[in-house]
Every structure is written in C-alpha cells, then in structure tokens.
Amino acid sequence: MRVLVVEDDEGIATGLDAHLRQLGWAVDMTDGVEAAWTALCVEPFDLVLLDLGLRDGDGSEVLRRLRHASPDRLPDAATPVLVMTARDQVAARIECLDMGADDYVTKPFDPDELAARMRALRRRSVGRAQPLLRAGPLEIDPATRAVRLDGQAVDLSAREFGVLLSLMEVRPRVLSRAQIEARLYSWDDALDSNAVEVHVHHLRKKLGEGVVRTLRGVGYFVPEDKA
C-alpha cells in the first residue's frame, strides 16, 4: 500500500514514517497543502493521512481539491483520506467528514490503532469486507502479514508480501510492473529496474508457479479460483 502522509510536525512525521514503513507500506512524506497536492497529481496513492494545521494552510483544502478532482487523470478523487486532528477540533472533524474524509484519529493517537483504521479503509476502498484474502489454497492476512499455503506458514520478505497483497487485492485484474512499483516504492526507495520480476520469481519459488501468473507484455495477476 502506498501512503501519502501530510504532516508538518517533524516529530509526528518521523514517528509515522518509521511505524508505517515497518508495516511494509511505501510512505511518502509531505508537510504542506501545495506539496501534498503536487504529490497527489503525480502519483497514485492508496491512502492519505492528513493533518489539518499545516504550515501553508489548512489540510482540509487538500481534501476539498481531491474530492473535486476531474475523472480520468490523477489525482483519483476517490482516494481514501484519514484526517488527524487535535482532540478539541470537533467542528473541523465534522466539516472534514462531510467534505468526504473517510475516517479520523485524534492526536495523540495509538499507532497500532491508526494502522488498523488504515487497513479497514483500504478494505472498504477495494470493496472487501473480509480481513483475510484467499485464493485457492493460499490465505494472507494483511494485519499480521501471515501467509499460509495449504495451512502451512510461508515466510515472505516485506516486498514479496507487498507484491502478493497488491495482486490479491485486485484479483483477477492484471497489474503492470509500473503499477506494482507505484504501490511498493516511495520516492526515497532505491529501485532496481528488475525488482518486481525478482520478487515475483521468489514468490513462485515459495508458493508454486500457479499463484502469480504473467500476462505477457502486460503484467501480473492472481487468477480466479477454478469452479
């Protein structure tokens, strides 16, 4: 999952960056309205964590622009937004929810609760009610990052898990290498040109050849279960 964090408090931003990366998510940090808007216009994000009091304006401006974005180009107007507010900012929270924010946390928040809320938002945005994802004998849990094949635990690296989760979330749709990279790597991450191929290769070694398929010249997909 690719996350844009919009937060101008350096301490909070640093803590969030470390915590979310540890969960295997690709995180990009911005500290203002205009920087956030620029980021949203050039990259597809799966979720935005939005602070309201920013150095160059109110974070709700990012939300307002996002929800009014034109179709067929970035940013995606439906990108889930989780607002971070102070405990006493009740009116601002109500305004943001009515403006199209999907959820909020009040500062100081518990990072694990925040992560759980982000996973819940992600499930909703991809239209999934079940916390576990299954494909045939394969079962993956985004919360614990546990992977089981025929009931046996399989050990995946964070990136391998990220590739698999990205494909499972949109199954049986095909994702191109660039689409997978956009979900897995933030601007700060060094990216080998064949990184996705290498992760897919390892996934096939660990899970068998049939789970992640190649559509030649297009990308990768996890097929539907056979009826």
Query: How near is the Cβ of 3 to Ca ion at its closest, in Å?
Result: 17
Query: How near is the Cβ of 205 to Ca ion at its closest, in Å?
Result: 45
Contact 134, 142 (CB under 8 A): no
Is 53 a residue that touches Ca ion (CB under 5 A)? yes
Question: 54 or 163: whose CB is closer to Ca ion?
Answer: 54
Sign of CA dihedral 168, 13, 31, 118: positive
Is 57 a residue that touches Ca ion (CB under 5 A)? no
Is 46 a residue that touches Ca ion (CB under 5 A)? no
Residues near 206 by Cβ (< 8 Å), separated by ≥ 6? 154, 155, 156, 160
Contact 164, 140 (CB under 8 A): yes
Is 8 a residue that touches Ca ion (CB under 5 A)? yes
Candidates 7-15, 21-29, 77-85, 166-174; binding stretch for Ca ion (CB under 5 A): 7-15
Query: How near is the Cβ of 81 to Ca ion at its closest, in Å?
Result: 16
Candidates 28-36, 52-60, 74-82, 164-172; binding stretch for Ca ion (CB under 5 A): 52-60
Is 51 a residue that touches Ca ion (CB under 5 A)? yes
DSSP for residue 58: E
* 102 phi, psi to nearest 5 deg: -95, -25
Question: 8 or 95: whose CB is closer to Ca ion?
Answer: 8
Q: How far is CA 211 from CA 72, 74, 168, in A?
A: 31, 31, 10
Chain residues binding Ca ion by CB under 5 A are 8, 51, 53
